[in-house]
Structure 1
């Protein structure tokens, strides 16, 4: 049984001009794709099986990311069903020179574990063994 902290993944993406809209800020669709990719990694690590996106429970864009920023994306599984994993996602705008961050996005996605034929498969029970893991779970549930 995997622990919550074992599913935690942080990844960075450089916001380049081809990711931007006419205002010089990151297209929301690009950020959604990055959230989905990192969330899939957490869900797959948890399930031990390939996972696909079933739903986006919420997606709040709080402030923009600009060309030249680094998008820092964090995900972790905070709850599980019989065949699904609930993944908390957050993104920050990070200054690549100073490492200063400012949260830009909060979201929650549901992923479903599948087998080779596309049928759903059972996922393990999620363990939360540390105070840090419990705090992350409560933060995700309270959204």
Structure 2
């Protein structure tokens, strides 16, 4: 009984660690033909439990990023994967090759994911407008 309880606790711990993102890559479209982009952007997620070169890959259009449970977290949902992944941001984060603090890192991640205009809407910067 103790062995099965220990195995259960180990499984729960490994399962929750499998939801934490170690690395997140946003890849450009797969091919560029005659100056125009063909294909879709891809999201590559490497969780803490992924070994070596293993990762989850999905088209960006089918994935969703949201605010996390607190100010230091973001949530990523991918098709075909049960449950969302979680990104924990700290004091120093590397985004697009730059080391950024938590606030600017969050803003840059949303810009890269959604684009400038849509990122403002998602972050809630486009609110009520005053009419003349």
The TM-score with structure 2 as length reference comes to 0.33
Higher relative contact order (CA 8 A, sep 6+): 1
Q: Specify which structure has the higher proportion of strand.
A: 1
Q: Which has the larger radius of gyration?
A: 2
